[in-house]
Structure 1
Amino acid sequence: MTFAVIKTGGKQYKVAADDVLKIEKLDAEIGSIVTFDQVLMVGDEVGAPLVEGALVAAELVETRKQKTVIIFKKNRRHNYRRRNGHRQLLSTVRITEILTGGAKPNLKAAAKPAAEAKPAAEAKPAKKAAAPKAAAPKAEAPKAEAASQAKAPAAKKAAKADVVDDIKLIGGVGPALEKKLNEAGITSLAQIAAWTAEDVAKYDDVLSFKGRIEREEWIDQAKELLAGKAPRAKADKK
């Protein structure tokens, strides 16, 4: 079996086709093809320092934080103790090809996630189309009630149009926390307003918020902002 030795993130890895390994974080989308051009060795051919024309292609499977590593510092007789935690971001990749002679990688693997996402997107309109059928019996109501019901959705749309969907409007969320939330896939108030108790526990652990979400009532704040209420003042936080 052909193998190669690649260098990425300041480390060297011996890889072969279909190998799955964790490496330093890569800035790429899940399911995309990434290439490693720093190939130190392919089979019996050793580079000087790199093998000319060699390339290793891989599919990015996921990027997530690893288990917490505790850093504890202590100075004797100085009452100095510091305890911190660190969770390293690593990317998981699956090696697809080991190429030589200047060959280019096959990019078909990158199209798989998009092909799988299409049936799900096409299935959503079918669910929405079924909703008007259940509302058909309401046609027997008086015209006055029908008119008031028609005005209510219009008023809600007008109110929602004025809402600024910015998670920094939540009291206690600044640029640093916004960056953490965006890296975890949270970009809107609607996502935070829909959080369950399990979601709160998950993000509190993943982002090391230490109970901040419940303490500062992020979910309630998000719902108030989506309803058109003004942001809570920082002086009102308890």
Structure 2
Amino acid sequence: MFAVLKTGGKQYKVASGDVLRVEKLAADAGEKIQFNEILMVGSTVGAPFVAGAAVQAEVIDQIKGDKVINFVKRRRKHSSKRTVGHRQQLTLVRITDILESGADKSGVKAAIGAGSAPKAAAPAAAPKAAKAAPVAAAAGADDLTAITGVGPAAAKKLNEAGITTYAQLAAVDAASFEAVKVKPEWVEQAKELAK
């Protein structure tokens, strides 16, 4: 039986006992891993992956690929040349099992690329929320930036002037208010939002 698996942006046709050189995986030598992105098992084709299928493998070693040299030379007088070398980090694995179903219950660690460690979503979302909403002066304050034309800077000035809710902004006389230049459209929108 054979399977087609996807890892590191490449596809590999494998059978039990095959040895593969794949993009670096976050696993140590001797560790057992499982590839869950299976495109095909025998004659069963998945869309996009075959459900419940997996390929289990044992990590043999972490190696480096052959050195690739990129040499650039520009002809003519006063030209330049540049040499850059690169050795790709690879993982050597031996395919041990091809599972057509029951991959979730196997208990084997999923193969994850070395550069794709899971990132914490909660800390990243907190700074965005802090930027989007201006600091409210009171606990019962409204988000004044919901009014068209009122940005974070104008909302901050309105908060400093003592206007923190839509009802307070709706009661302001736009012509006579001195602390901040209030536009009549803001007052109209505040009346609609205060309802």
Normalization by structure 1: what TM-score?
0.43
- Structure 1 residue 91 and structure 2 residue 86: aligned? no
Amino acid at match of 1:5: V
Matched residue of 1:49: which SS? coil
CA contact (8 A) 1:57 1:105 kept: no
CA contact (8 A) 1:99 1:105 kept: no
The answer for unaligned runs of 5 or more in structure 1 is: 108-238
Amino acid at match of 1:4: A
Amino acid at match of 1:88: Q
CA contact (8 A) 2:28 2:62 kept: no
CA contact (8 A) 1:19 1:94 kept: yes
Q: Which has the higher strand share?
A: 2
- Structure 1 residue 66 and structure 2 residue 65: aligned? yes
Separation in 2, partners of 1:102, 1:11: 24
Counterpart residue number, 2:14 = 15
Deviations 1:179-210 (A, max 9, x none): xxxxxxxxxxxxxxxxxxxxxxxxxxxxxxxx
RMSD over aligned Cα, in angstroms? 1.5
Deviations 1:67-119 (A, max 9, x none): 21111012222511001211111110000111122244486xxxxxxxxxxxx
Cα shift at 1:64? 1.2
- Please say which structure displays the higher CA radius of gyration: 2
For the structure 1 residues 60 and 28, does the alpha-carbon distance in structure 2 shift closer, same or farther, using more than 3 Å as the test? same
Amino acid at match of 1:83: T
Separation in 1, partners of 2:85, 2:39: 35
Cα shift at 1:60? 0.3
Separation in 2, partners of 1:66, 1:39: 25
> Among the aligned pairs, what percent are the same residue?
56
Counterpart residue number, 2:31 = 32
Q: Which has the higher helix share?
A: 1
Normalization by structure 2: what TM-score?
0.52
Separation in 2, partners of 1:13, 1:63: 18
Counterpart residue number, 1:80 = 80
Separation in 2, partners of 1:24, 1:16: 19
Matched residue of 2:30: which SS? coil
Amino acid at match of 1:28: A
Total equivalences in the alignment: 106
Separation in 2, partners of 1:86, 1:101: 40
Separation in 2, partners of 1:29, 1:91: 9
Deviations 1:131-159 (A, max 9, x none): xxxxxxxxxxxxxxxxxxxxxxxxxxxxx
Deviations 1:41-76 (A, max 9, x none): 000000111001001110000011122111101222
The answer for unaligned runs of 5 or more in structure 2 is: 109-195
